[in-house]
């Protein structure tokens, strides 16, 4: 098989199945510890899949998870992967002010670095919640010393999205080297279609494959993401959640691991910090 020479960013958003945005109106944060944890086993399953397929990636991890499972963070680092921040407890950035966001960043980074012994230079906002409502967010990230963010979804969606954002890596600040790497979308007939996470799980794999080829054809790396809970068909069902949320969350969980193996085999993948390091200054 002929593969592209471009290395694409393979990323995992490490969170429990009950911490997703779709359930935030159903499960209170104060009740999270009442739910049996599955993130450790699920993340180890992802680590095994990556070892099997010979790839490394970036694990954007909640501080809440690292605080309770520091040994998981060390396992990720020991396997050669990058640890990056996903915020403390999945609070969307547009619900904070700049000071609250800065505190969230500092608390999460300290916990991740203590657990993993690896410097944290990357950040992904929960639910891609850096958008036109948060003009201050990139400034806060730059002041905190982050090298990059992958927090923008350049697509229109009912839960998130910044449709008018650039599709490819850009510098959001004129006075900072901070880089924003939006997650990859497919552009088809003038419309943008999301390709990672649940979209990859539920839609034909050919759409994401097309999107990767499309951006690589423009000499750009693709940025792909998914969650450990997406390869866990045995997870508990949250009966009180809205029907739409349950359909999105639980559909085709059993197919995800196989689809991931296929996607990984068709393209070259690596850590996002390595992609940043190779970019021209």
How far is residue 109's CA from residue 119's CA, in Å, rounded to a whole number? 8
Query: In this model, does residue 1 exceed pLDDT 50?
Result: no
* Residue 91, both tokens: 């609070």
Neighbouring CB atoms inside 10 A of 187's CB total 15
Query: Cβ neighbours of residue 33 under 8 Å, at least 6 residues apart?
Result: none
207, exposed or middle or buried, with CB in 10 Å at 0-12, 13-18, 19+? middle
Q: How far is CA 238 from CA 96, 195, 241, in A?
A: 27, 25, 6
pLDDT in tens, 28-56: 999 999 999 999 999 999 999 999 999 99
pLDDT in tens, 51-88: 999 999 999 999 999 999 999 999 999 999 999 999 99
Nearest C-alpha neighbor of 120 from the set 18, 269, 14: 14
* Angle value at C-alpha 208, between 204 and 213, nearest 5 degrees: 135
How far is residue 267's CA from residue 3's CA, in Å, rounded to a whole number? 6
- Res. 3 pLDDT band, cuts 50 70 90: low
Query: In this model, does residue 222 exceed pLDDT 60?
Result: yes
pTM, whole model, 2 decimals? 0.96
Task: Give the distance from CA 256 to its chain's centroid.
Answer: 16
pLDDT of residue 51: 98
Query: Cβ neighbours of residue 213 under 8 Å, at least 6 residues apart?
Result: 4
pLDDT of residue 268: 97
């Amino acid at each position: 098989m002929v593969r592209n020479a471009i290395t694409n960013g393979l990323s995992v958003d490490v969170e429990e199945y009950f911490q997703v945005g779709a359930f935030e109106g159903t499960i209170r944060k104060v009740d999270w510890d009442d739910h049996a944890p599955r993130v450790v086993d699920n993340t180890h399953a992802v680590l095994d899949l990556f070892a099997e397929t010979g790839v490394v990636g970036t694990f954007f991890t909640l501080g809440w998870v690292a605080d309770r499972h520091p040994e998981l963070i060390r396992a990720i680092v020991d396997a050669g992967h990058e640890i990056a921040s996903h915020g403390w407890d999945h609070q969307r950035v547009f619900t904070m002010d700049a000071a609250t966001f800065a505190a969230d960043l500092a608390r999460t980074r300290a916990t991740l670095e203590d657990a993993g012994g690896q410097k944290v230079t990357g950040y992904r906002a929960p639910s891609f919640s850096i958008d036109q409502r948060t003009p201050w967010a990139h400034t806060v990230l730059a002041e905190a010393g982050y090298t990059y963010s992958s927090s923008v979804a350049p697509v229109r969606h009912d839960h998130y999205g910044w449709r008018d954002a650039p599709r490819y890596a850009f510098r959001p600040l004129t006075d900072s080297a901070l880089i924003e790497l939006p997650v990859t979308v497919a552009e088809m007939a003038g419309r943008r279609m999301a390709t990672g996470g649940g979209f990859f799980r539920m839609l034909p794999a050919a759409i994401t494959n097309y999107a990767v080829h499309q951006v690589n054809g423009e000499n750009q790396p693709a940025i792909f993401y998914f969650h450990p809970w997406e390869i866990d068909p045995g997870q508990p069902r949250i009966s009180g959640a809205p029907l739409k949320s349950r359909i999105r969350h639980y559909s085709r969980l059993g197919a995800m691991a196989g689809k991931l193996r296929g996607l990984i085999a068709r393209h070259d993948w690596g850590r996002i910090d390595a992609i940043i390091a190779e970019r021209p200054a």
